[in-house]
Structure 1
Amino acid sequence: MRDLYDIHCHILPGVDDGAKNMDIALALIEKEIEAGVETIILTPHFRKEMFEPDMEDIWNAYDELLYETRYKNIRLYLGCEFHANMEMVETLDNDLRPTLADSRYVLTEFAHNSTRAFMKERADALLMSGYRPIIAHIERYRATRKDFDLIEDLIEMGCEVQVNADAIIGRDGLGAQRFCKKLMQEDMLHYVGSDTHNLRGRAPHLGECCEYLKKHMGRLYTSRIMRDNPSKIVEKAR
């Protein structure tokens, strides 16, 4: 399957714990292209007191990556993986961090032990300010792993849900794979991302995930979450 999207990755070089340099970034992009990916939203971490890369450095790295890939069959957009905090709306309103592809979608990460109340409150704050949270790798959080009602509540509020390809195909363990299977059976999944960081332990596996989904969920379902849904993010850019 071609024209796949990756909405969650750490390919932008030298700005977080992902690709350390341009050579690694370009090698990761080659792997994505080989897997059928044609659109990537680059999502470097933003987490206070841990990952706070300067936006000028991010834009410079993005411009350089655009130049280096100018002859490749790949579309690159900028975003970030925003670790939820109490100032996130103000940060976004003041353009201190980018939304996904300059849309109203925000890839929103939580701490693994975030409470149900905190997740709902932060999601509501974003929604009330006109943003659309996409909950990053929802298979990782203690609150959502044990409480599908919380996921249903978040979706009913207006949030959408992303899981990592490695979780679907079993590379993150049987428990995560079972969780993803239930999520898909309940039709509560909207996006898959590679969350790739490097060429070894966290390489991109969207191609393998695509084949797995076609086999277990069907071609139409696979197209919906790996192509149709993410294409709407880019279409809704401001």
Structure 2
Amino acid sequence: MVLVDTHNHLLPGIDDGAKNIEETIEMCKIAADDGIKKIVATPHYIKGELETEPSVIKGLVGEVNKLLQKQGIDIEILPGHEVFVDPAIPQLLKDNLLCTINNSKYLLIELPMGSTPKYIEELIYSIRLNGYVPIIAHPERNVEIMENPNLLYRFIELGAMAQLTTWSIQGNYGKKVQETAEILLKHDMYSLIGTDAHSPTKRRPKLEKGINLVQQIVGIERANLLMKNAELIIENTEVNNLLPKKIQRQKGLFSFIKKIVNK
């Protein structure tokens, strides 16, 4: 199995990730030491604010790959975008203004942290209708999903996929995010795992620790599925998704007493 990171902000100087090529190369060295063989560069795309064109991304990817080969670092960089949700995404895809993951049908999208837009269900449907598959990055960090994890179940029902971030399951974003990640993981709502790395010092490109935690929570077989899916996605083939399970709310004390009395 080839270890693939499908969410990474290592391209130099184009978003809040690596500041320069030196940081890019350092991030690649860290990833290589962690066993990662392929990285999808996913700089942010925010309509009206940060609109890096696919040609720029692919040009930078080519330059970085040449440097990596020259320095003997055994990693290949692939093009992508992390697209902040917007009703215009289907048209942007038609106009070839977005980078899907390695030119596949899979598109990494990002929800706002505080809410889910009212149009999100229609957006997922429209993206699917146009032949693409939206992958929701780090849904465990969205406040509404933290409060009601079944929101993500609904998005998956409509044809979206979800990506777990290693820092979330490790507790680096706080206990609530970590707990939400574990809940979603135990209910088979994730299809893959990525680093969402931004630098060589803070949010580092390392998968191994996160994968080990996933193995402890849901077992080696299901952890392997998340890793294998990343490989299938960059090959533009169908993934091996588990069937997500809706989360049943815990019944209160009154319900428990009523059940005993009625026996």
TM range (shorter): over 0.9
After TM superposition, list the pairs within 5 Å mapping 1:10-29 onto structure 2. Answer: 10-29=9-28
Q: Kindly provide the amino acid, as one letter, of the partner of residue 186 in structure 1.
A: H
What residue in structure 1 maps to residue 220 of structure 2?
A: 219
Kept in 2, the 8 Å contact 1:24–1:199? The answer is yes
Residues 85 and 109 in structure 2, CA contact (< 8 A), matched pair in contact too: yes
Aligned to 1:57: 56
Q: Structure 2 CA distance, aligned partners of 1:20 and 1:115? A: 30
Shift of 1:54: 4.2
Change (3 A) 1:123 1:114: farther
Amino acid at match of 2:142: Y
Say whether the 8 Å CA contact 1:116–1:150 is kept in structure 2.
Answer: no
Residues in 2 aligned to 1:16 and 1:109: alpha-carbon distance in whole angstroms: 15
Aligned-pair distance for 1:221?
A: 1.7
- Other-structure match for 1:84: 85
CA distance in 1, matches of 2:231, 2:165: 18
Q: TM-score, normalised by structure 2?
A: 0.84
**2:87 partner SS:** coil
**TM-score, normalised by the number of residues in structure 1:** 0.92
Q: CA offsets, 1:76-124, max 9 Å, x none?
A: 2101001111211111112112111111111011222333632212111
Match of 2:181 in 1: 180
CA distance in 2, matches of 1:10, 1:31: 14
1:131 Cα offset (Å): 0.9
Structure 2: segments with no counterpart, 5+ residues: 238-263
Q: Which whole-Å CA distance do the structure 2 matches of 1:16 and 1:57 have between them?
A: 13
Q: CA deviation at 1:196?
A: 0.7
Identity of aligned residues (%): 28
Tell me the residue number matched to 1:141. 142
- Shift in Å at residue 146 of structure 1? 1.6
Amino acid at match of 1:88: I
Deviation at 1:56, TM superposition (A): 4.0
Q: Deviation at 1:72?
A: 2.8
- For residues 153-164 of structure 1, the aligned pairs below 5 Å read 153-164=154-165
Q: Within 5 Å, which residues of 2 pair with 1:102-181?
A: 102-115=103-116, 117-181=118-182
SS at match of 1:101: helix
Over 6 Å off, 4+ runs: none
Cα drift, residue 55 of structure 1: 4.0
Q: How many residues align?
A: 235
Query: 2: distance between equivalents of 1:166 and 1:22?
Result: 24
1:236 matched to which residue of 2?
Answer: 236
- In structure 1, the gaps of 5 or more residues are none
Answering whether residue 92 of structure 2 is matched by residue 94 of structure 1, we say no
- Letter of the structure 2 residue corresponding to residue 194 of structure 1: T
| SS of match in other structure, 2:4 | strand
2 CA distance for matches of 1:116 and 1:197? 26
Report which stretch shifted further, 68-77 or 156-165: 68-77
For 1:208, the equivalent position in structure 2 comes to 209
CA contact (8 A) 1:41 1:101 kept: yes
Q: Does the 8 A contact of 2:134 with 2:160 survive in 1?
A: yes
- SS of residue matched to 1:117: coil
Check conservation: 2:100, 2:107, Cα contact below 8 A. yes
CA positional deviation for 1:186:
0.7
CA distance in 2, matches of 1:63, 1:187: 36
The 8 Å contact of residues 140 and 164 in structure 2, kept in 1 or not, is answered as yes
2: distance between equivalents of 1:216 and 1:163?
13
